[in-house]
Structure 1
């Protein structure tokens, strides 16, 4: 027999878990990189990114840049829209992977 054509409960669970993991993982990853509520942690990946951005911009980090955006996300809680986008993206990736199993 071949693969079933519908979505079983295991595949649906995979998609849901993928969305939840994406929402929960982002704050942990940002913190691990050095983007925290207290600011950028010295000698971290975030500090190296900030240094490179400042050098490229003549001494300052541009508003709206990747470093500024990541620090903003690291310093504050994720908004509802950000959580929705992350959850949707995580679910879509999990659904793509689940197609093969």
Structure 2
């Protein structure tokens, strides 16, 4: 098993990164990068998001990683994800 600090840092950062992208414990945050990913996946798949797809796996990971955070922290991270998605939508 790797004992490098980068592995531990990745585990600690996962909830923040997933939440900032819009993958929250309550679902995908409206207007976020995750919402854009979900929309694209649904369009490509005929209206639904396929089980096991990247979006489905990240949403599952987001729910599990956020489970340890408080409701307020989850909402704050989700809000950051929505804001980041909005800003990104201005450029793409």
Classify the secondary structure of the residue corresponding to 1:29.
helix
1:69 aligns with 2:57: yes
RMSD: 1.5
> Equivalent residue for 1:26?
14
Task: Find the structure with the greater CA-based Rg.
Answer: 1
Gaps of at least 5 residues in structure 2 are: 67-92
Which aligned runs of 4 or more in structure 1 are off by greater than 3 angstroms? Answer: none
Q: Distance in 2 between matches of 1:17 and 1:58?
A: 42
Q: CA deviation at 1:19?
A: 1.8
Aligned residues: 64
After TM superposition, the score normalised by the length of structure 1 is 0.59
**Cα-to-partner distance string for 1:22-76 (whole Å, 9 max, x where unaligned):** 1111111000000000000000000000000000000000000000000000011
